[in-house]
Amino acid sequence: MSRSAIYAVNSGTQTVADGGVVSLGSVIRRYGCDCQLSGDAILLEGAGYYDITVNLVASPTAPGDITATLYKDGVAIPGATSTGTTTAAGDFVTLSIGPMVRQMCCGSSGTMTCVLSGGEATVSNIAVKVVKE
């Protein structure tokens, strides 16, 4: 089993529709071959366990709940969700998610994305760290 890591950040402002995927930006640090940034997703290459940390700042366009959920291969990762509540449009919430996922086969890859739900929001920062031990 090889060790790999990636740290990607998007500190630009992006508008994300309800049910939309958050753009992860660009790679700041990367080590090894098992974690790759591909568009708005992190590719998980090779069998093993991946420790994931996601922090993002969102400002919903309407008051209420906003939720960030991590998906692997288009399916929500159990427990990998965070919800924040705003009382006024334009308020900011910080959402943090920290699951561990498993990639089964060494010849396959998985795709991890971050999806917002609960309404349209402006995301002003997202940082993603993935470490494969």
Residue type, 114: C
Q: Are 117 and 18 in contact (CB under 8 A)?
A: yes
Look up the pTM and report it: 0.94
CATH, residue 18: 2.60.120.40
In the beta sheet, which residues pair with residue 72? 75, 112
Residue 1 confidence class, pLDDT cut points 50, 70, 90: low
Per-residue pLDDT reduced to its tens digit, 103-125: 987 777 899 999 999 999 999 99
Query: Which residues span the domain enclosing 25?
Result: 4-132
Window from 48-62, 77-91, 95-109 with minimum mean pLDDT: 95-109
Residue 106 is given by DSSP the state: T
Strands lying side by side in the sheet with 41-45: 35-38, 41-45, 109-117, 64-72, 75-86
Split into its structural domains, the chain has a count of: 1
